[in-house]
Structure 1
Amino acid sequence: MTAFAIEIAGLRKSFGDQVVLDWIDLAVPAGTVFALLGPNGAGKTTLINILSTLVVPDGGSVRVAGHDVRTSREEVKQSISLTGQFAAVDEVLTGEENIHMICRLSGLTAAESRTRTSELLTQFDLVSASRKRVKTYSGGMRRRLDLAISLAVIRPVMFLDEPTTGLDTTSRRALWDIILQLKEQGITIFLTTQYLEEADQLADRIAVINKGHLVAIGTAKELKSHVGGEVLELHNAKDELIVTIPTSGSIHDVSQALNELSRTLPQDARVSVRRPSMDDVFLALTTKEMEGTPL
């Protein structure tokens, strides 16, 4: 694989008159975890669908694992695995049968498939339900099974579209560990997520997309510094949050903010100062009408 697992230049995609992706430029180094954040309808799933050859771009250049998604679709498919937002499993089969089937279809021998199936059932805590029909599974169990199936054969590039949606905290943390283990093996992980903490904990780099435009890209630390050095929070006597203000963190800026607010806020308001979170970054970048320059 090349130094970059994913290379995008000038990517454009529209559906009718609706522009979904507009001049996207992006490069993801091989062997890293990359997170894409954005509100619903921002273009995240469309981008993943283009990268996985499910949707044809209107313009621009897109390469995955060194292969062009238009002219080398089969080579791209052999280099990737994809887990969509909704579990794609056969409800009539058991969990064990689902995994074993995909292993065989992916080219593993019968013996290799049995071994890999056993490993994945254990890894995703599905052993006790392995011989039950999937139609009896809970939503969280189906999601874990779907993720297990996507790992039947390890590919150089993995696309995970909101992989932990519907999982409980324990299952989500377990998947985080699996993602980090895959990264240690040199696998590139490209994920979208609605859990900002997830991107903060896992991703080497994070991009924020809004209305089809990349509005920011960088490490979690770089994106947080874009918001400000410290965040000033004011609460009323009932401990309800009144206002949040990004500041540089300097005494001058904090004092100035407090002086300006003191004329309108109740006298019993309490103040606290904290470091910016990914929530602050997300809100700052997606609630403004902006098409910013990447960090």
Structure 2
Amino acid sequence: MSSSADVPASPYPAAGNPVPMRVQSAWIQRRTDAPASTAARLCLPRMTFDMATAEDSFQPCWAYVKVVGVDFGALSSPSTQDDWISGSAALEGTFDGTTFVVTGQSSAPAPQRPDVSVIAPDEVPTCAPPAGGWPKVTSKMLDQFGAVQTLVRKDKRFGGVRVSHPDIEGNWDPVAIGMQYQVLEIGYVGADEDGVRQAVEKVYDGPYCLQRAEQSMAEMRAQRKQLESGGYDMSAMTLQSVGEGVDGGTPVLSFTVDYRTEAFDRMLEDLGDPPVRIEAYLEYVD
């Protein structure tokens, strides 16, 4: 593993040091009364979850960075609404962490909603309900959840815990967010499944199931600490989740970043190839 002195101070572009980047499908906006020389908006999309409606949605312009050099006459699917000109394009250029300067532009459809759900990975139990369905949650189960969290955090045999709220048959149910049903899915490492069950049942009387995990919580916390202490500006990235749950039985460091650079990839390599899932919008050009 490299020391922080061996790598750049930040994995992100800095002012005065732009790097070549591209985006395969960008949604771009500019006010109709703005001069052509004015910087426009290069939108950064995001999947979001609305607790009020219990639905996830795709926000095509959740945030944005400045972009200059766009040919608005060559945008795909152009439209004008509420004093804004909008359209899509594929772009190549340079990015300094604040402004994307276009050096190449071609037609491209607008960014599409990804074929994933914000709800499913976190709310649908991966274990089947017992005969008769899941029991309703009790106040005692809720009180004991803190003890389970402490156990998972301190015992190196554990690889994460998440709470699912299914209906009685195990399907995701928006009403169940009100805690009618609660199932703990607990990740564990090693071969001592019986010992893990005994440890859980000493502190928790409610329904749970075990899932195999490749890493313990302790290992994931060490990896996150390495990312944060290696001289990198972690505030520049969006952390969607960082190893606090069980992802299909495997806890992972999971990042959603608006832009990804070569230095960022080197930062991940410093961790010794852990299971990392990353999604990025702006990609560096080799």
TM-score between the two structures when normalised by the length of structure 1: 0.29
TM-score between the two structures when normalised by the length of structure 2: 0.29
Name whichever structure is richer in strand by fraction: 2
Name whichever structure is richer in helix by fraction: 1
